[in-house]
Structure 1
Amino acid sequence: MEFDGTHDEPTRERVARSILVNGPSTAAALAERLDLTAAAVRRHLDQLVAEGAVEARDPRSDATRGRGRPAKTFALTEAGRDNFDQQYDDLAAQALRFLAETGGEGAVREFSKRRVAFIEERFAGVSQADPSLSPAQVLAQVFTEQGYAASVKQLPLVNKQSVGDQLCQQHCPVAHVAHEFPQLCEAETEAISRVLGRHVQRLATIAHGDGVCTTCIPTVPTTTEKKEQVTT
């Protein structure tokens, strides 16, 4: 995403960053979030779309908006994400290719595990610093510290009871490299599972074209966990 050097540049970057941090957003949501008029936001969005940094998406078929048609959402494109902390993707990919050629698949997996060591190293400290945080919220803070712009959403209730949370990462510093080396995503998911002591499920990844990385974190024991509880 390249800006044209006009006086609109700072605001346009704020619009793009808001989409990065909060995920695909409508013009109305951006206007409220940034304290701008809807007309101003649309003008910036039009320019970002023209630059190829943002794309307009049709609303989901189940979206509701009262009267009128549901509003379109705007999401960062791959080119738009390039502007945020991904200048060294080519070098990183070359290094991993060399590692794979010289050390094999095992070397890539070991590197991937070491890269996400921060998850286990920081989890206990963040949790102890703020006991009010849920495990998912602790993870979100740990990932945000590393530039992932993470947040937590509650999964839909089942029989009026919570069944878990969804960890959402609006940004991935290694998305382009992970597209070629999925071991990076796999190691991340495995580390999350280890710190929580239960199975988690990766639902989507930016590396594979989704707008956000999402991981389902159940709050109820899995079938395997229930069996272990009965036998202990």
Structure 2
Amino acid sequence: MLEQGPITAAAVADELGISPAAVRRHLDALLAEGQAYTREAPRRGQRGRGRPARLYLLTEQGRALFGHAYDDIAIAAIRFLDEHGGPDAVRRFAEARVGSIVDRHRGAVTSKKDPAERAEALALALTREGYAASTRRVGAGEQLCQHHCPVAHVAAEFPQLCEAETAVFAELLGTHVQRLATIARGDAACTTHLPVPPSGAAPLDIQIHENGGTPE
């Protein structure tokens, strides 16, 4: 399908030397997994009896199985930005990028008054953006865990992406946060600690601490 699509099941069977029935079982599996889709083949000549032939094509999800060079392009672009604009330009880019992601969900997060509920709302927002995030209670605080990072390879070279993300988390959650681990550094997940004040305590000032910093 990648090399010759749109293609019929019969044509795939001829190419592979197996039965059309066997091919259709594999094609049905690709359809069910969202890796392929179909459309009717254009009719040529007079309309005949029976159903029109179906053409099979790969979806974007299916094409992704063959790999992309997005990371290489992104790293090259940010290297160029760093070389010609300096570290401050990279930082501003990182801030704009994460800002565009969280701004779509800002109202849903900031509408929560309880810090733990804000963390849960932020995890849901991040999950919708492809970060597979969750929260868990640890001691007197909450930990926000991102189990996937779409830009991990880029962030490994440009930690400004992680730093900008941490700063936005602190601003949204209304308290200082501490980044404990990142996928970009080889950890299993990106983990951010959010201290939750005791019930009735005054709100904490927004402070950001990276890599084990101490609250002022």
User: TM-score, normalization: structure 2?
Assistant: 0.57
Instruction: Specify which structure has the bigger relative contact order, considering alpha-carbon pairs within 8 angstroms and separated by 6 or more residues.
Output: 1
Q: Distance in 2 between matches of 1:150 and 1:211?
A: 13
User: TM-score, normalization: structure 1?
Assistant: 0.54
The secondary structure found in structure 2 opposite 1:172 is coil
Structure 1 partner of 2:190 = 213
**CA 121–103 in structure 1, closer or farther in 2 if over 3 Å, else same:** same
Structure 2 partner of 1:77 = none
Query: Is the CA contact 1:120–1:195 (under 8 Å) kept in the aligned structure 2?
Result: no
Which of 91, 98, 110 is equivalent to 2:73? Answer: 91
**CA 83–187 in structure 1, closer or farther in 2 if over 3 Å, else same:** farther
Q: Distance in 2 between matches of 1:155 and 1:210?
A: 18
Q: Distance in 1 between matches of 2:104 and 2:132?
A: 19
**CA 127–106 in structure 1, closer or farther in 2 if over 3 Å, else same:** closer
Name which one, 1 or 2, has greater alpha-carbon Rg: 2
The secondary structure found in structure 2 opposite 1:202 is strand
1:1-232 correspondence runs (5 A)? 87-117=69-99, 118-125=101-108, 128=111, 134-156=117-139, 163-220=140-197, 225=204
More strand by share: 2
Gaps of 5+ in 2: 1-25, 34-63, 206-216
More helix by share: 1
Report the RMSD for the aligned CA atoms in angstroms.
3.5
Q: Where do 4+ consecutive residues of structure 1 move more than 6 Å?
A: 82-86, 221-224
One-letter amino acid of the structure 2 residue matched with residue 148 of structure 1: Y
Q: By how many angstroms is 1:84 displaced?
A: 11
Q: By how many angstroms is 1:120 displaced?
A: 4.1
